[in-house]
Amino acid sequence: MSAREFKDNIYGEIASVSKALANPHRLEIVELLAQGASSVEYVADQINLSVASASHHLQTLKKARLVSTKKKGKYRYYSLSNQHVFKVWKAMRELAFSQNAEINKLIADYRASQNNLEPITTEELKKRLNEGNALLIDVRPGQEYDAGHITSSLSVPKDELHRRIKDLPKDKEIVAYCRGPLCTMADEAVAELRQRGYKATKLDVGYPEWKIAKA
C-alpha cells in the first residue's frame, strides 16, 4: 500500500464519522444518549420523530460505530459507544458557538423571550449550595435522572413541575438543569417558577458536561 492509498483510506474512515454526525437529528440523538441508554421508542418520542425515522438515524450512528446496542427483554437499548462520542459533539458545539454568529443570535433571542435568563456556572452553583441558599432540581424525564444525575439534585421532571411546584421551598433559589446548554426544559421550568413567585435560574451545563468535568 502506498502512502497516498494509506492516507486516502484513513481520512476516508475519519470522514465517515463526521458524515454520520452531519445531521441535526443525529446530533440531538447523541445529546440524548449522553444522558443514558434509550430505546428507539424513547428516542423517537423525545425528538419528535417517527419510530422508523429514529431507527434509521440510530442505525447510521451505529454503522459509524458511534452507538452500540444491548437487548433488555423485548427492547433494544442504544447508548453512546464511549465518552469520546459526546466529547466530539461538545467540541463541535463549542466550535459552532465560536464561529457562527447566527447561533449566538438565536440563543440571545431565545433568552430574551425567556426574560433575559442568564445561566449560572457550576462554580457559582457550588457556592450557593454550600451557603444553603439554593436547591438544585433536575427537570429531565425520570428515566434520565435514574440513569445518572448531578449529586444532591432533586428529580422534578418538567412535565410534573406544575403539580409539584408547591413542594419546593420559597426561601431558597431554585436552580434547574437538564440535558445541556441547548436543552430548553430548564428554561421553561425557570420561567414557570418565576411566574409562580419563586427565585429561579438555570445551570449553564447539563448532566453530561458535569460528569465529564468530574471525571
CA 57 to CA 25: how far, in whole Å? 8
Per-residue confidence at 189, pLDDT binned at 50, 70, 90? very high
> Where do the CATH 3.40.250.10 domains begin and end in the chain?
102-214
Task: Tell which CATH architecture fits domain 102-214.
Answer: 3-Layer(aba) Sandwich (3.40)
pLDDT of residue 64: 95
Q: What is the DSSP string of 28-42?
A: HHHHHHTTS-EEHHH
Residue 176 has pLDDT above 70, yes or no: yes
Residue from 21, 178, 185, 193 carrying the catalytic annotation: 178
Whether 178 is catalytic: yes
17 CB-near residues (< 8 Å, 6+ apart)? 64, 65, 66, 88
Task: Tell which CATH architecture fits domain 3-86.
Answer: Orthogonal Bundle (1.10)
**pTM across the whole model:** 0.90
pLDDT of residue 112: 75
pLDDT of residue 74: 83
> Where do the CATH 1.10.10.10 domains begin and end in the chain?
3-86
